[in-house]
Homo-oligomer: A and B are copies of this chain.
Amino acid sequence: MLRGDITVAIRNAVMHELAEVGYGRLSIEAVARRAGVGKTAIYRRWGNKLEMVLEIVSDVAGRSVPLPDTGSFAGDLQLIMMIVHRALQHRIASQIIPDLMAEAARNPQIAETLQAALHTHQQAVGEKLVGQAIARGELPEGTDPEVAVDMILGPLYWRLAVSRSPMPDDYLEKLTTAVTAALKSTAP
């Protein structure tokens, strides 16, 4: 009968620790310290650091985003961009995500988890978005959903998580029109 409040404290501590020092330097002792908890409480729940992080992260990341359908492609696009924008603005998320992405490049288990939590989901959204737009006649028949996803998420991710340069007010608008134009041009 593990105590729920303790579990919550640990989960929070892991997320914060992950943001501060990254996966590579995350230590169980530091997590316990931060959570105000004994190491035993942690080892009672998970077998080791990797298992713990994967379970916690995939739980957080797995909370699915509702598939948008605002009625128009421009609207859907704007909505998605706002959602991603908000998510990547979040201080903790914007530290953890790039860190785990980098870690995934060398740890297959992490890669698999992120793949399951993000990529699959993201692909579904992309396909739905593009599918709707094609059905409405807003995008040409052969539009590639893969390219679409890259064009939508790539610049945002680059700007917010990599380049980290300040984002002018009209930036999202510009990006939206740019992406729309881009996708309209990719007919086969």
Contact = CB atoms under 8 A, between A and B. Distances in A.
Interface string A94-120: 110011011111100001000000010
A21 interface: yes
Interface stretch (A30-38, A46-54, A72-80, A159-167): A159-167
Contacts of A144: 174
Interface string A54-82: 00000000000000000000000000000
A174 B186 contact: yes
A8 interface: no
B151 A155 contact: yes
A144 B169 CA distance: 14
A158 B154 contact: yes
A41 interface: no
A47 to B, nearest CB: 20
Given A95-B102, A182-B182, 4 more contacts: A150-B155, A150-B175, A154-B157, A181-B186
21 contacts: A19-B106, A22-B24, A22-B102, A95-B102, A98-B101, A98-B105, A99-B105, A102-B102, A144-B174, A147-B155, A147-B175, A150-B163, A151-B151, A151-B175, A154-B154, A154-B155, A154-B157, A155-B155, A177-B186, A181-B186, A182-B182
